[in-house]
Amino acid sequence: MDVVKAAQLSGRTLERVVVHPLVLLSIVDHYNRVARDTRKRVVGVLLGTSSRGSVDVTNSYAVPFEEDDKDPRIWFLDHNYHESMFSMFKRINAKEHVVGWYSTGPKLRENDLDVHALFNSYVPNPVLVIIDVQPKELGIPTKAYYAVEEVKENATQKSQKVFVHVPSEIAAHEVEEIGVEHLLRDVKDTTISTLATEVTSKLAALKGLDARLREIRSYLDLVIDGKLPLNHEILYHLQASLFLEICHVLLLLELNELNGKC
């Protein structure tokens, strides 16, 4: 019997795991403080909400964790520290509860099922999210899993837990997007060329301009069709805004031409 069928028999259907930017930033900070430039991984608790087959991971905190490199059966997770931290977090946001745990892997390890079993005492169906803090290729740096009972064809064989992969994605509320934008505004990556940075910023600006122009066009279409009344004040402001946008674009083009000659 394949793992997918085993997951269906387990009675649980988990469709996706949504990870918020604050969680990613916290985990990267945890890794840089504890395990940077080593082969160690860091482990922590994931907080959030779950409903209708979706787990929304909105917060996290680090937990002291040690493991033997030679013997994966030997490991220690400070659950007393976890319980104290969760008690404090619960006072701040009672809606967030334990939804699982994270690891910087960057892949599944032999003792992950044992660690996962520990979190079963805090949440019925925990999720494991592995965060690749040093990705070597483009893409989402998260992989999510949950454990199911693998049913054997032979009734005499003992069943065992196995991990099942579940799709994960990165999502943010508007407030989080603004916060991350301000946080990363002054962060410069010396490995990225100036040209690539300029192209990226210009593409973002053009996308924003395109969205505004589409919105203006939708409004004007409604006015032409008689679905909205003609408002001369709005039209005046639209003309002024378009004039300023055109001047801005022409100025950028002129500056780029001058830079090319220098």
Same-domain status, 242 and 123: no
Q: Give Dmax (Cα) for the chain.
A: 82
Same-domain status, 8 and 83: yes
The one-digit pLDDT tens for each residue of the chain (262 residues) are 444 444 443 445 789 999 998 899 899 999 999 999 898 999 999 999 999 899 999 999 999 999 998 898 999 999 899 999 999 998 888 899 999 999 999 999 999 999 999 999 999 999 999 999 988 877 789 999 999 988 766 666 677 889 999 999 998 877 666 666 666 665 555 455 555 555 666 666 667 777 777 888 888 888 888 888 888 878 777 777 776 666 666 665 555 555 544 4
Cα separation, 194 vs 199, in Å, equals 9
Same-domain status, 27 and 148: yes
CATH number of the CATH domain containing 115: 3.40.140.10
Same-domain status, 15 and 141: yes
Question: Does residue 189 fall inside a structural domain?
Answer: no
Cα separation, 246 vs 235, in Å, equals 16
Same-domain status, 7 and 38: yes
* Strand residue runs (E) in 104-192: 127-131, 142-150, 160-166, 168-170
Same-domain status, 97 and 203: no
The closest of 148, 150, 116, 114 to 130, measured between CA atoms, is 116
Same-domain status, 135 and 204: no
Same-domain status, 121 and 216: no
Same-domain status, 178 and 240: no
Same-domain status, 211 and 153: no
Single out the residue in 184, 217, 235 at which a domain terminates: 184
Question: Do residues 102 and 65 make contact, with C-beta atoms less than 8 angstroms apart?
Answer: no
Same-domain status, 67 and 125: yes
Same-domain status, 121 and 237: no
Whole-model pTM? 0.66
Q: Note the pLDDT of residue 201.
A: 63
Q: Which domain range does residue 137 map to?
A: 3-184
Q: Note the pLDDT of residue 3.
A: 42
3-state secondary structure of 130: strand
> For residue 109, what are the contacts with CB-CB under 8 A and spacing of at least 6?
41, 72, 103
